[in-house]
Amino acid sequence: MSAENVVLAAGAGVVLCGPAAFLLGPWLMRWIPEPELDDDEKTKPSYAEIAGRGAAYWCGGSAAIAGGLLGWSLGTSAGLVAWLLLAVAGAILGYIDARTRFLPSAIIWPTYGVVGAALIAGAAVSGEWGSLLRAVIAGVIGFGVFYLLWFVVPSGVGFGDVRLSGLLSMALGWLGWAQVVTGLYGGFFLGAVIGVVLMAARVLKRRQMFPFGPFMLVGAVVGVLMGGPLEHLYLG
């Protein structure tokens, strides 16, 4: 991969993802439906309530950073478009989850279709049908693992996290199994460390739910950046 392609892809990631998330984030928050809360769930701020200027700057800034890092790592490869689309959706989902502790399916499910279509197009252009098959298998496995965690320990994992896990696993699976393992484990590790720190600082009480989606999203980016190098390091 030439340095010119890497710089071009990184610049495209910043320029395309930042403004897209800046504009789409608040707009989506004003229009997506509110979830039906269970009787034992506390009230949450409405999506429209958090769709202010701060949301636009946060979504745009985080998407620009993620897009730049992803472009720098992937270059002008066949999976870049899918990952840039995911960077925009992920920035919006991460902000919503951090503010409301909910991951709206009204954004996650369409993102499956958009990212999946981009991966299919990438496979058609590059001929990487094996990568597409691996992406599908990884998506099913990731969804199944998180579904099992949700079923066994529902207080530790929300079903929004289950939906998000399949999406992230599918995108990571296109790149390789090392990226899948690193991305998912990285999310768990980051969430566990931050959770312990918050409990030690008495910011978070034991058994209190905290937004796990942002850590899953950061872990996925770590998987893209570090999955390949860690695989080479492990295999010598």
Residue-wise DSSP of 14-82? HHHHHHHHHHHHHHHHHHSPPPPPPTTSPP---TGGG-SHHHHHHHHHHHHHHHHHHHHHH-S-TTHHH
Q: Tell me: pLDDT of 4 over 80.
A: no
- Report how far residue 48's alpha carbon sits from residue 34's, in angstroms, rounded to the nearest whole number: 9
Single-letter residue type at 10: A
Q: Return d(Cα 164, Cα 23) in angstroms, integer.
A: 22
Give 44's pLDDT tier (boundaries 50, 70, 90).
confident
Mean pLDDT over the full length of the chain = 90
Note the residue count of the chain: 236
More confident residue, 227 or 4: 227
Residue-level pLDDT at 207:
53
Residue 153 CA: distances (Å) to CA of 39, 42, 90, 197: 19, 19, 25, 21
Residue % of the chain over a pLDDT of 90: 72
CB atoms within 10 A of CB 219: 22
Average pLDDT over residues 68-77: 95
**Rounded to whole angstroms, how far apart are CA atoms 225 and 45?**
34
| Token digits of residue 43 | 């009230």
pLDDT of 45 higher than 70: yes
**Percentage of residues in the chain having pLDDT higher than 70:** 89
The CA-based angle 118-21-157, given to 5 degrees, is 80
Buried residues in 134-146 as b, exposed as e (16+ CB within 10 A): bbeebbebbbeeb
Q: Residue 107's pLDDT band (boundaries 50, 70, 90)?
A: very high
Residue 77 pLDDT level (bands cut at 50, 70, 90):
very high
Q: Which residues contact 20 (CB under 8 A, 6 or more apart)?
A: 63, 88
Residue range 223-236: mean pLDDT, rounded: 84
Q: What is the pTM for the complete model shown?
A: 0.92
User: According to the model, what pLDDT value does residue 109 have?
Assistant: 97
Q: Rounded to whole angstroms, how far apart are CA atoms 130 and 126? A: 11
Residue of 185 and 153 predicted with greater confidence: 185
Residue 39 binned pLDDT confidence (cut-offs 50, 70, 90)? low
Between the CA of residue 146 and those of 73, 117, 135, 182, what are the distances in Å?
A: 27, 23, 16, 15
Q: Is the pLDDT of residue 56 over 90?
A: yes
Give per-residue pLDDT as tens, 170-229.
Answer: 999 999 999 999 999 888 787 767 766 665 655 555 555 678 899 999 999 999 999 988
* pLDDT the model gives residue 236: 65
Structure tokens at 103: 């991951």
Please list, in sequence order, all residues whose beta carbon lies within 8 angstroms of the beta carbon of residue 85, skipping any fewer than 6 positions away.
111, 114, 115, 118
Q: What is the pLDDT of residue 194?
A: 72
